Amino acid sequence: MRKSILLFALVCCWNASAQTAREDFEKNPLLSAGKYFAYQEPATTQTAPPAGYKAFYLSSFARHGSRHLTKEKKYTEPLQILWDAEKAQMLTPAGEKTLKIATELYDRAKGRYGELTEKGARQHRELIQRMFRNYPEVFDDGVHVDARSTYKTRAFLSMAAACVELKGLNPKLNITTESSNADLYYIKYENEAYEQQHLANMDSVYHVADSIYIHPERILKELFRNADFVRKHIPDTRKFMADLFELHGISQSYDNQQGLDFLFSKEEAYDMWQRNNFEWYYEKGPSPLSGKHMYYLEKNLLNNFIETADSAINHSCRLVSLRFGHDTNLAPLAALMGLNSLRTATADWQKIADTYRTYQIIPMCGNIQMVFYRNAKGHVLVKILLNEREARLPIQSKTTPYYEWNAVKDYWKNTLAQISLP
């Protein structure tokens, strides 16, 4: 009982000390981009390991870096409305500015939909630089760096950027890369039957979400000179606003590219982020509306982390395991691991952001790192970082954020034992 009380107190202290999402946005409005937020190096300090412990193994999963939008229609559908308005001389000065920026974004992406941008490649070069600097003993001469990615170009090129940079940092590393369908069962697992079972009410759920969070009336007046044009040419005004907000978010994928921040008020930007945040909570998180366990889909990926770690520990392998994939796997993996209360289920839509915030979980180049430490007696501790910030687990530890590997493994295996997928 005393252990349970202590654990509860630790979790409460963690939540109480955190800023609200609104406070986050006041400090950094770019966070409203959510999953499109361009990765930034955290201004945090790392807790030193307990005396006598040295890092010996690192295992990670990273989302690809910043990219273009995945489909041409994501650009052309909102642009077509703006083009029609321009021809009809119905654009306000704000509308003309929006058209100019949306056109710039479209021109940058033509023929490259879904591909990695230069900024995205740089994010991974800089991330691996920090990993190398923070854990030099892990990347010692002769260590085997096993890097694997999904077959998507943006993930493969993220892996390539990191590995080329790493080879330059230490030419004596043994780096191997692989992008194979053989790894899809864990690195990009999909289960349509499970999703259909738990997301059957998706359309009605999103209809409610749109009505709560998306209110385009003011922006339409800001963009267009005549309400009749809006009625005749924009059949779905909420979708149009959401499309523009997506363009605003993806503008962070480039250097020296203006976004549409002038168009959205602080409240509108926050609500649009909440709408997108809810979508991830519902489809990949612990939402009661989808059965509370959509993150179960990362069972194979978490098991891969356990197996590779045990292999490195039990066989004294000099190894680094790097995995490169996508937000659709990173978000549920973080929840399945139990990081930072991400399994918290709430039916109160206004409380979702208390524990679940996309920009903290799946920014472009988002990543989970597990760093293993061992002392002279062979006792193993592990520290987990979510986007290079020390993460907390619902496990008692006298050395938080360092946890006994066996305790973490038992916690995860108990979770995995409860999962049954169709």
CATH classification of the domain holding 386: 3.40.50.1240
Number of residues that this document lists for the chain:
422
d(Cα 353, Cα 338) in Å, to the nearest integer? 16
Residue 100 lies in a domain: yes
Residue 422 lies in a domain: no
The β-bridge partners of 38 are: 364
d(Cα 254, Cα 101) in Å, to the nearest integer? 13
d(Cα 295, Cα 29) in Å, to the nearest integer? 28
Write the single-letter amino acid at 85.
Answer: A
Place of tokens 């659709």: 328
In terms of Cα–Cα distance, which of 212, 217, 199, 229 is closest to 293? 199
Decide if 278 contacts 170 (C-beta within 8 A). no
| Domain of 112, in residue numbers | 2-417
Residue 288 lies in a domain: yes
Residue 237 is inside which H or E element, if any?
A: helix 237-250
Burial 72-109 (b: 16+ CB within 10 A, else e): eebbeebbebbeebeeeebbeebbebbbebbeebbebb
In terms of Cα–Cα distance, which of 278, 275, 262 is closest to 356? 278
Cα dihedral 90, 92, 93, 99 sign: negative
| Max Cα distance, the chain (Å) | 77
d(Cα 387, Cα 340) in Å, to the nearest integer? 12
The β-bridge partners of 178 are: 148
d(Cα 169, Cα 172) in Å, to the nearest integer? 9
- The angle formed by the CA atoms of residues 159, 163 and 166, to the nearest 5 degrees, is 145
Decide if 95 contacts 89 (C-beta within 8 A). no
The pairing of strands 319-325 and 174-179 is unpaired
**Predicted pLDDT at 18:** 67
**Predicted pLDDT at 161:** 99
The β-bridge partners of 384 are: 370
Residue 394 lies in a domain: yes
The helix-helix angle for 266-284 and 202-213 (nearest 10°) equals 160
Tokens of 219: 């922006």
Tokens of 120: 């995205």
Burial 360-391 (b: 16+ CB within 10 A, else e): bbbbbbbbbbbbbbbeeeeebbbbbbbbbebb
Residue 284 lies in a domain: yes
- The angle formed by the CA atoms of residues 325, 329 and 334, to the nearest 5 degrees, is 115
Q: How many domains does the chain have?
A: 1
Residue 145 lies in a domain: yes
| Angstrom distances, CA of residue 243 to CA of 102, 212, 249, 323 | 10, 17, 10, 31
Place of tokens 């385009």: 216
Place of tokens 């981009």: 33
Tokens of 14: 């963690």
| Angstrom distances, CA of residue 247 to CA of 61, 77, 347 | 27, 11, 30
In terms of Cα–Cα distance, which of 214, 314, 188, 315 is closest to 273? 214
**Predicted pLDDT at 14:** 37
In terms of Cα–Cα distance, which of 123, 76, 418 is closest to 243? 76
Q: Which parts of the chain sit beneath pLDDT 50? A: 1-17
